[in-house]
Structure formats: C-alpha cells, structure tokens
C-alpha cells in the first residue's frame, strides 16, 4: 500500500508518495515532480531528478525541471497554427518558435489537488485565449505510485477545437542528481524511426529510419561515446514509437541503466513519440538541490508526447482536441536495480 501525505509549502502544496523503497514528491505548482528517491544495488537511496530544494525555486524554473508543460509541449514553428481556417499566433519564446505552452504555460500554474488511491490528482482550468490558445480547457494529471512504478495519467476536455500535447519534463540522472554528467549511462529506445530537425529544432517533415544512423538506440548505447559522435550539442529529438493513425496502445519505449549504481529506469507510454533530450542547454548557471550546479549533459529527459509541431504537419499524428472528445494518455516510469 502506498503512503500518501500532504503538507503546505508556502507557494504550493507538496504531496509525498511512498511505496517500499521508492518515494516521490509532487508539487501543486507546475504539477512538478520535485523528487524521486530510489535505492542502488547497496540499498542506498538517492534523489534521481534535478530540481530545487524549495517550492519557491519553481516559480521561475526556466528549464522546466519536473514540470508538466502545456497546452502544447515542445516547439511549434513560428508560434502559429491554423484551426477551422483561423490563424492563431502565440508568444515566440524559443528562437523563432513557441515552446512548451508559452510565457506562462501550465508549468507556472498552481494546480488544485485531491487524494486518490495510491496517489494524487491535480487539475487545472485554462480559459479561452490562455497564451493565445482557443477554447476553455479542463486538464488533469494523476500521479500514482504502485510498488516501484510511477504512473502518470493525463486527461483534458475542451469546448472549442484546440491543439494539445501534455508531458512531464523531468530531468533524470540515475547516479543521483548533482552528479556532473550522464556519460556512463546506457540508453535503449525502442524506435524504428526519428524526426530530423532544422537549425531551429523544428522537424523537417521527414520520418527517417534509425537504421545505420547515430540515432539507432534499439540496443544499449553508452551515452558518453555516442554524444561524442553526434553532431551538434546532443540529443533533442523525437523518436517515433508508432505510425500516425495507429491505436494508442501502451508500449515500452525506453530503458536506461546506470551500471555504477545498478539503477534502472524503464518507460512505457501510449503516446506516439518520446523526446529524448540530454540537457544540452544547461550551462552550470542554475543552482539546484544542495547548491548543485547543473551543467550540460548532467541529466536526460524522456518526454512522452505527440510529435513536435504536429499541428502544422498534416502527415504527423493528429494534434487537435475537439469538443466532446477526451484527450488521454498514460506514461509509466518503473524503477529497479540490476
């Protein structure tokens, strides 16, 4: 049975979930996963996600540590889209593009909370016109910790057609947050194809097989050596887990192993893609838990989501939520030891 408890933390509520040796802390501010503590092969528990010691640190949170991002996660080309023949323009906050829902996206909201079996449900109302998006949107995210698996269930409904793409932006380091890099992690991603991007990180539209490329992660790859080979600052790419139109079945999509501690993270999702990001834009200026300076390649993200810029690319999976429909998806993080 999972222990669930709540405490007030000034700017936010903090909910603590514990099941066996795994514990998770959730903040109502930004729907943030503040900490995940798991044991290594010696039984030593450590926090394996980047972030801040106090809720106040998440008020700005420029790199979205642990937050749920929306309405639309990832990049949208030129901050624009068309729905029902009407063009909508969004704040441009990442080069020439819109990123992670805008200047004040879901990561900046204080969500309402309620206890559920083995977890907590957080809810947020986004009014028509919020950050430029159409429709009144009711969204919820439910975190459940059962044995050694953290399940994240997303739901949303709208009264006008709107693009939507929700994900959690946790940064992991299985050696423990504050460890300088992830070069000794072994990564597997079960994807046959990925999305190449242009120089502003927008998908070009090509769906490219990973075969005979540096993006072939179908067998375990040591991150340090692969990042040395990879052109550019690192991975920040969508890996395609299924084809557009495929049913939303839950699929195992990724496995990461840290041999030094024996910690293993496995991810499954009903989403058609996962954005693999190697914290290329951390530069040591952000000070996190315990005063740790978070530098480039000090963590990785596995953001289960729709394909980036799908609302502007008709051959990508459908990115629109319509009145009467329910947006829903599930992602599970399972923690174990070798």
Q: Which residues are annotated as a binding site for beta-D-galactose?
A: 74-75, 169-171, 236
Positive or negative, the CA dihedral 148, 304, 317, 92 is: positive
Annotated binding site: 74-75, 169-171, 236
Contact 55, 65 (CB under 8 A): no
Q: C-alpha distances in angstroms, 287 versus 37, 61, 103, 104, 299? A: 20, 11, 22, 22, 14
Q: Are strands 162-163 and 273-277 parallel, antiparallel or unpaired?
A: unpaired
**Exactly one of 100, 258, 303, 329 is catalytic; which is it?**
303
- Asked about 25 being catalytic, the answer comes back as no
CA angle 78, 83, 87 (to 5 degrees): 50
- Asked about 7 being catalytic, the answer comes back as no
Closest CA to 282 of 179, 128, 137, 195: 179
Closest CA to 241 of 335, 162, 305: 305
Closest CA to 64 of 275, 219, 291: 275
How far is Cα 74 from Cα 307, in angstroms, rounded to an integer?
Answer: 9
Closest CA to 232 of 205, 248, 214, 250: 214
How far is Cα 4 from Cα 115, in angstroms, rounded to an integer?
Answer: 8
Phi-psi region of 91 (alpha: psi -120 to 50; beta: other; left: phi over 0): beta
Question: Is residue 9 packed enough to be buried (19+ CB in 10 Å), middle (13-18) or exposed (0-12)?
Answer: middle
**Exactly one of 169, 185, 258, 329 is catalytic; which is it?**
169
How far is Cα 269 from Cα 39, in angstroms, rounded to an integer?
Answer: 24
| Residues assigned a catalytic role | 169, 303
């Amino acid at each position: 049975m999972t222990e669930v408890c709540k405490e007030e933390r000034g700017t936010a509520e903090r909910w603590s979930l514990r099941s066996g040796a795994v514990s998770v802390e959730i903040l109502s501010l930004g729907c943030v996963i503040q900490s995940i503590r798991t044991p290594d092969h010696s039984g030593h528990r450590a926090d394996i996600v980047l972030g801040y010691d106090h809720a106040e640190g998440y008020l700005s949170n420029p790199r979205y540590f642990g937050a749920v991002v929306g309405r639309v996660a990832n990049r949208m080309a030129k901050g624009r889209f068309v729905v029902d023949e009407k063009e909508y323009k969004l704040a441009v906050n990442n080069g020439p593009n819109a990123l992670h829902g805008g200047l004040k996206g879901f990561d900046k909201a204080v969500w309402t909370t309620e206890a559920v079996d083995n977890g907590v449900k957080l809810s947020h109302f986004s009014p028509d016109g919020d950050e430029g998006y159409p429709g009144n949107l009711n969204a919820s995210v439910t975190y459940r910790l059962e044995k050694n698996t953290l399940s994240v269930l997303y739901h949303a409904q709208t009264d006008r057609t709107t693009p939507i793409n929700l994900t959690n932006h946790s940064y992991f380091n299985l050696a423990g947050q504050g460890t300088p890099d992830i070069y000794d992690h072994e990564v597997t991603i079960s994807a046959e194809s990925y999305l190449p991007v242009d120089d502003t990180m927008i998908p070009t539209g090509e769906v490219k097989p990973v075969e005979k490329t540096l993006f072939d992660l179908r067998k375990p790859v040591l991150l340090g050596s692969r990042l040395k080979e990879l052109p550019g600052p690192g991975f920040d790419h969508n890996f395609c887990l299924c084809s557009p139109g495929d049913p939303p079945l839950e699929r195992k999509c990724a496995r990461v192993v840290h041999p030094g501690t024996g910690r293993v993270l496995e991810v499954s999702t009903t989403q058609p893609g996962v954005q693999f990001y190697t914290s290329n834009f951390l530069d040591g200026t952000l000070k996190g838990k315990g005063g740790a300076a978070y530098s480039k390649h000090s963590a990785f993200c596995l953001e289960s989501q729709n394909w980036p810029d799908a609302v502007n690319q008709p051959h990508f999976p459908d990115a629109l939520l319509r009145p009467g429909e329910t947006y829903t998806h599930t992602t599970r993080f399972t923690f174990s030891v070798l």
